[in-house]
Amino acid sequence: MICKDRFIEDCKRAVCDGQKALRELVREAVTDPAGIVAELGEPTSAGIAPLYRGPGLTVINFVWAPYMTLLPHNHNMPAIIGIYGGREDNMFWRRVPHADYAPGIEAAGAKSLGPGDVASLGPDIIHSVANPIAKFTAAIHVYAGDFFDPPAPRSQWDHESLVEQPWDMDHTRAVFRAAEARCRAG
């Protein structure tokens, strides 16, 4: 069974060894979804719950509401995503110039993750996330940096126009709140 404090201490040590070392820790943790639930609690509402935040490492328990989507965004730091409940569909994007308007992005691939699956995202990866199922999706995200105050400005892209904008954590929190409200409303 996972121990949150031990997992965080292990991540603090592993971040110096790089993304592969962090991936192994997350992979090991999500092989026991019941252990994570026993330690962190049953996911019952959408949200972003920081478990640890420091200048070189952030560990977050993300819970996605049913049918929730998050617009394309980047992290500007390595990220490891480990699913311990539900399903997370990632659409990957690449930058492209558009003749008629500001530079945008186009789809470049996708990956669906379920319990026990882990994805490693390099610092330049752009992705959007969707929970395609009718129950909560829960994931441990580990970032090799401060997710909430990154050293390089992050971006997000408008869902419709795919035009780049500055990343806005308040907008991200509002998306989670709105998804939670829709879930509660039925």
pLDDT in tens, 33-73: 999 999 999 999 999 999 999 999 999 999 999 999 999 99
Q: What is the rounded distance in angstroms from the CA atom of residue 137 to the CA atom of residue 134? A: 9
pTM of this structure: 0.93
Nearest to 144 by CA among 64, 38, 59: 59
**Domains: count for the chain:** 1
What percent of the chain shows pLDDT beyond 70?
97
Q: What is the arithmetic mean of pLDDT over 135-156? A: 96
Name 42's Cβ contacts closer than 8 Å, sequence gap at least 6. none
The pLDDT tens digits of the residues spanning 160-182 come to 888 899 999 999 999 999 999 99
Domain that holds residue 165: 4-185
Q: Tokens 């659409």 correspond to what residue?
A: 91
CATH classification at residue 153: 2.60.120.10
**Number of neighbouring beta carbons within 10 Å of residue 68:** 21
